[in-house]
Every structure is written in structure tokens, then in C-alpha cells.
Amino acid sequence: MTLLLFSLRGVPEDEADEVRELLTEQNIDFYETSAGNWGISVPALWLRDETQLEKARSVLDAYQQQRLLTSRGHYLQLKKAGRQKTFLKGFIEKPLLYSAYILALALVVYVSIRLLFELGL
């Protein structure tokens, strides 16, 4: 019986490549499914042999812990250098795009509140 080992939905491509490479190096038998043409299927890595589950889980847990530490270190370096992305920096970079987002958000809030008052709630 196959088991879901690692969901690829929302996973950056570099992380997915590293996980595939890691599983191959550890001789863990897996296969991959895509999201399909419409994106409604489950993109994931599946384990063929459930006897390898404990080994695969420990390898992935160690990898994810290492990736967390690396990502956190990278973020702290950017923050220390003042180069991390913030809302204000994004607004200064692309003012029209951010203005459109703010306008769309305000419109949604306005319509929602107006409907509440019109319905008498």
C-alpha cells in the first residue's frame, strides 16, 4: 500500500528537488504525482514500501530541521543588513500594484459591510 510521504503543494521548486535527491540518495523507493492539468490533484511524493516509512520520516525530519535553520539564518542576515522585504519597501518599489491591492481590499470590505447594514444585521 502506498503512503503519502511529502505533499508538494506550495513547496518551492528548490526544496522539492532537494527532497527528491535526498530520497534517491537514501535508496527510498518513492514516486511522484503532479497537480494535473487543472491543479486539483494532489502533487506529492508517495512511498511505495511502507516498511521504509520510519527511515523516510527520520530523513525528512532531519532535512526539514536543517532547512529551517538555514532559512532562519538567511532571514536574520537580510534583516540585519536591512534588505528583508517589508510592506513599505514593496509599496515604494511598485506603488501602482500595491495601490490596486489596497483599493481591492477596501472595496471588498465596503461591500461586505454595506450588505450587512442593508440586511439589517
Q: Using alpha carbons, list the distances in angstroms from residue 105 to 72, 94, 98, 109.
A: 30, 17, 10, 6
- pTM value? 0.73
Ranges of beta strands (E only) in 27-118 are 30-33, 44-47
pLDDT in tens, 5-42: 999 999 999 999 999 999 999 999 999 999 999 989 99
Q: Which CATH superfamily is domain 1-83 in?
A: Hypothetical protein rpa1041 (3.30.70.1530)
What residues does each domain of the chain span? Answer: 1-83, 85-121
pLDDT in tens, 41-63: 999 999 999 999 999 999 999 99
At a CB cut-off of 8 Å and minimum separation 6, what does 67 contact?
15, 18
